[in-house]
Structure 1
Amino acid sequence: MALDLHAASFGDAAEAYARGRPSYPAEAVAWAVPAAARRVLDLGAGTGKLTRVLLDAGFQVDAVEPSAQMRDQLAVSAGQASLFEGTGESIPLPDASVDAAVCAQAWHWVDPARAVPEVARVLGPGGTLALIWNIRDHDEPWVAALDDVLHRHTRQEIDTAPPIGGPFEEPERAEFRWRHPLNRDSLLDMVASRSYVILLPEPQRRALFDSVLGLLDRHGVGDEFEMPYLTRCTRARLR
């Protein structure tokens, strides 16, 4: 139940999510999605961070997202995609209707026992499932210190190299380093869009934001800066 509560909370911060969360590097998407694919499922599309990259790469995109507020943002950022209400366990698409499925920053919210066969159902023969996560790069001391501050309230351990199994072949893995430009306001939006922060009482939220700004001051981080990321990708082909 707690996991469902956290997963459902994102709609309350959809605008902050759209402003503060990073996109995904094109080279990671090129690795994750076969160039021969035509129609791609963006599962758990959120506000369209990945959807926009898929569209720019020339794919036809079916974007599936459970939150109405997130879909509102998605319609603005990636309106050329076909938008659907749905989840990883219940995808509102016909059998064998897509060439590839990508789930970015969302696979840890699904039940793999139900989602894996459901994704396999909508994939055509030999289709690819790709899982993508952006992880902040702790090689920079201020980024490591930031995560220490963010994890005072909760620490969610995400497996960014999960097994897939079922009707899929053994997964392949890749990692991409890149940097995302931010300013202080958009960093606070990123913090505000985290599921546990959305659920905090307002005094605790404000104290957390003050701690983040104080950390930037102590580490000499200016008003505009770059967040270093590792984008970790998994892909597996349907047998």
Structure 2
Amino acid sequence: MTVSRALSFDTAAARYDAARPGYPPALFDAVEELAGRPLEGAEVFDVGAGTGIATRLLCARGAGVTAVEPGPGMAGQFRRATPGVRLVRATGDALPFAAATADLVTYAQSWHWTDPARSLPEALRVLRPGGTLALWWNTADAAVDWVAAQDQRLRRDLAGAAHGAHGRERSLPAGTPRTDRRIRWSRRVPLDTHLANLGSHSLLLTADPGAARAFLERERAELLAAFPDGTVVEPYTVHLTTTRRPTA
């Protein structure tokens, strides 16, 4: 993953915050189960917090969250959308926290922008013994015909995919004890929201602007044929991976 792609979100922070999907309650139920403790009262470092989509949901479950975000544009949107939550400008490869100070370290859609050889030891360092590192990604369900067709068009026209599958390519280093869960869910959104969501992915943000605009206009026509009422049903699978810091 290149730095330019990682920081491309800064150019579209407001759109990202408005259009990107959140996460279902079942995800946070699974995190609590695998962590062996409730989120309520937990000290959480949410790394790569972006505009605060996951941060806000963690706070709603009663967690005490410190967000970590390197991008200036995303951090600015975070402060506007998530007032009152502590935000630290840093990366997961060098967390500015003392050892053994968190119950949970979370990465929502962001682990793949780190170097796991550095970010895993950092997460384990700041976790208390028995604490949990939780990584998750929303991925569009390519078993659904229209999603698979859109993926093919993305690969054909823009030489890539924008549905989050890259997140699974860089999970945890081989040999790391881990537990995996898959949570299926969906949301119904206006076509404009879906296109804004699609356009907020790094593949589109780093493409030639004219090519990106043309692609999104073609997608509007394709999707209106599939969803003539203008409401798109976006199917997702959340890929959740956890590991714990040993207690001894």
Report the TM-score, using the length of structure 2 for normalisation: 0.89
Deviates more, 1:147-156 or 1:227-236: 147-156
User: Which ranges of structure 2 fall in alignment gaps of 5 or more residues?
Assistant: none
127, 131, 135: which is aligned to 2:135?
131
Superposed, 1:119-198 pairs within 5 Å as 119-152=123-156, 153-155=158-160, 158-160=166-168, 162-164=171-173, 170-198=177-205
For residues 47-75 of structure 1, give each alpha carbon's deviation from its aligned partner in whole angstroms, at most 9, with x where no partner exists. Answer: 11111110010000010000111112212
Overall identity of the aligned pairs, in %: 33
Q: Distance in 2 between matches of 1:81 and 1:150?
A: 36
For residues 193-227 of structure 1, give each alpha carbon's deviation from its aligned partner in whole angstroms, at most 9, with x where no partner exists. Answer: 11121122222011111121121123244312321
**AA in 2 matched with 1:22:** P
Superposed, 1:1-40 pairs within 5 Å as 3-33=2-32, 34=35, 35-36=37-38, 38-40=42-44
For residues 155-177 of structure 1, give each alpha carbon's deviation from its aligned partner in whole angstroms, at most 9, with x where no partner exists. Answer: 255252733468x6x10011111
Aligned-pair RMSD on alpha carbons?
1.8
Q: Distance in 1 between matches of 2:134 and 2:242?
A: 4
Superposed, 1:75-86 pairs within 5 Å as 75-86=79-90
206, 213, 233: which is aligned to 1:226?
233
Report the TM-score, using the length of structure 1 for normalisation: 0.92
Q: Distance in 2 between matches of 1:165 and 1:136?
A: 25
Distance change in 2, residues 1:222/1:151 (3 Å)? farther
Deviates more, 1:142-151 or 1:92-101: 142-151
C-alpha displacement of 1:30: 2.3
The SS at the match of 2:21 is coil
Q: Distance in 2 between matches of 1:207 and 1:200?
A: 11
